Amino acid sequence: MSRAERLRLLFAVLLVVLALDQATKLLARRHLVYEPRSYLGGIARLEYAENRGAFLSLGANLPAGWREGLLSGLNVLLVVGLTVYLVRGRDLGRWPTLALALLISGGLGNLIDRVMRGGAVIDFMILGIGPVRTGVFNVADLCLTTGAILFAFTGATTKRTDEAEPDAEGAEAK
């Protein structure tokens, strides 16, 4: 993909993910604070939660200033680093570009929460059967997870134009 195509895909994913993430968090704040809901016999639950830590509340017990600085700072580094990689990366195909766009979008969605909500991220979805359940998550988290999995399977499979190719007789060209 060309740089322009990668940027168009990034902006399209950003627009969709940030709109969905922020809209669903607004709905969760309005409708789930006092009234959690359960669907599909309890497989899907919607329940409002504010997470001051990272994944599974990791770091939530750190002093507020340290926690907010560390989590926001790491988030900014992740988003900026991945954006630079996406923009400057050569030979990135559609799938790795989509994976990076999902990671960037998910990171920005949670960063918006941290900045606007005093370090807290709104979570509201829980999936599981019986005692086996996920932690509470949101649309941004779903995009981060999907992007990481997608990148793990497609990110290392970019074309390399500097590798030697076999010549007509089957020997490697130098």
User: Is there a catalytic annotation at residue 113?
Assistant: no
Residue of 21, 91, 113, 141 with catalytic role: 141
CA distance 156 to 80: 20
Dihedral angle of Cα 111, 54, 48, 120, to the nearest 10 degrees: -50
User: Is there a catalytic annotation at residue 21?
Assistant: no
Backbone angles phi, psi at 157, to 5 degrees: -110, 40
Strand 44-51 to 132-133 pairing: unpaired
Residue of 21, 91, 113, 123 with catalytic role: 123
CA distance 15 to 11: 6
Hey, which residues are catalytic here? 123, 141
